[in-house]
Structure 1
């Protein structure tokens, strides 16, 4: 597999790290592993709190893998691919442990979805965000509910409509996506470590119940995100989308 998902456990903190050489993009294999790892961490009694991060220092996550998008040639394959994003979001939603997001660099499309699916997200000043899906003929259908839940319909629609425009990390903080924005990775990591240690020493049952309350009203997301995956899976087969993806890849 061209990429990886790993987990390390230290003093009650489970750190999940994903990597892909193409700016931490997310092919199907990585998505499946990520969903599985989050779900398993949720049932591991040695883990009290989870940190979700990616490798490298430039890009947090470039979203969907263009190589895989181009290779999709039927509706079932398309639906399955976009269901990978749905499965990761739902795994984070259902996980009984609080998840801290670590966003060190730019987040695009599905990367914004990941940042929205965690419970508390910290970032650096370099962590600009963009929902680029409309620019390639699709739309942020699968990640949309998670993003909308975090920043509201107005801010989400701004990103979805102006699909080629980067929004700054400070903008994302002002809208509620990020809780803190740091000047450096070192400062961010220190802040994450401090919070993670506090949570690892907190009452697990109280945190589980808090998370349950935070996510009230999303119980239908298994069906909703599956439906949205079908929408994206159909659109990715269109000539418009195929041509747009090829143009992006050739830039």
Structure 2
């Protein structure tokens, strides 16, 4: 696989949404836009009862923001537009009327941790270590922070945000509530995901929709909040500190 994509497939009333980028499944703006659009469309499809969010390949789940795009941001407006891509994906997941099951097969960084946190039920392999690396480059996990804090609490989120050099193991993420289960292999993970969604498809669709509303109670302000956070990140990415740091990724 060499070309980035977002694709949706349907199997036995389950909608599988898969994204891929050759740079360790990083997320440039066009992939973020397509991902948000696909989540919304899948949520509105009456032929689908449950959604699985996954990424391509067997290793990294998601490397977070595209450094190639970050390097090329030269004004605050462009910066806000880029970071709003993460806001749009998280809000699409939040508003989706169907349960979204996360399938996390490998390491996930920054915005990828936000995606995992925005799923309704997240399953992982033992290789799925997590890291919030944003402070290393002079910004912070502002946009994805609310989703992460909602899952692992302010203490857990602040720990990994401050300790921005460290990958925290999948078992730590499970203990904090980000992952529901951690499996020894991707094969075991896939089998468990399949069994879970098959079982969920036997549930009352309306009951699941109402339960999702309960789960996300208190997040109605996220449309505005995450855009404000995107503006903060868009300004910080213009700092001399961040520009110098990003030179190392060219």
Under a length normalisation based on structure 2, what TM-score does the superposition of the two structures give?
Answer: 0.98
Q: In the alignment, is residue 52 of structure 1 matched against residue 62 of structure 2?
A: no
Distance (whole Å) between structure 2 residues aligned to residue 121 and residue 242 of structure 1:
34
Number of the residue aligned with 1:62: 63
Distance (whole Å) between structure 2 residues aligned to residue 226 and residue 180 of structure 1:
32
Deviations for 1:101-126, whole angstroms, at most 9, x for unmatched residues? 00000000000000000000000000
SS of residue matched to 1:60: coil
Unaligned runs of 5+ in 1: none
Number of the residue aligned with 1:195: 196
Deviations for 1:154-200, whole angstroms, at most 9, x for unmatched residues? 00000000101110000000000000000000100000000100111
SS of residue matched to 1:148: helix
Number of the residue aligned with 1:127: 128
Number of the residue aligned with 2:209: 208
Structure 1 residue runs of 4 or more that deviate by more than 6 Å after TM superposition = none
Unaligned runs of 5+ in 2: none
Number of the residue aligned with 2:153: 152
Distance (whole Å) between structure 1 residues aligned to residue 42 and residue 199 of structure 2:
18
Q: In the alignment, is residue 24 of structure 1 matched against residue 4 of structure 2?
A: no
Give the total of aligned pairs: 249
Change beyond 3 A, Cα 1:155–1:189: same
Deviations for 1:127-163, whole angstroms, at most 9, x for unmatched residues? 0000000000000000000000000000000000010
Distance (whole Å) between structure 2 residues aligned to residue 9 and residue 58 of structure 1:
24
Distance (whole Å) between structure 1 residues aligned to residue 137 and residue 211 of structure 2:
38
Deviations for 1:52-79, whole angstroms, at most 9, x for unmatched residues? 0000111000000000000011111000
SS of residue matched to 1:225: helix
SS of residue matched to 1:61: coil
Structure 1 residue 228: deviation in Å?
0.1
Distance (whole Å) between structure 2 residues aligned to residue 219 and residue 199 of structure 1:
26
Distance (whole Å) between structure 2 residues aligned to residue 230 and residue 135 of structure 1:
19
Under a length normalisation based on structure 1, what TM-score does the superposition of the two structures give?
Answer: 0.98
SS of residue matched to 1:216: coil
SS of residue matched to 2:65: coil
Number of the residue aligned with 2:176: 175
Structure 1 residue 2: deviation in Å?
4.7
Matches within 5 A, 1:98-113: 98-113=99-114
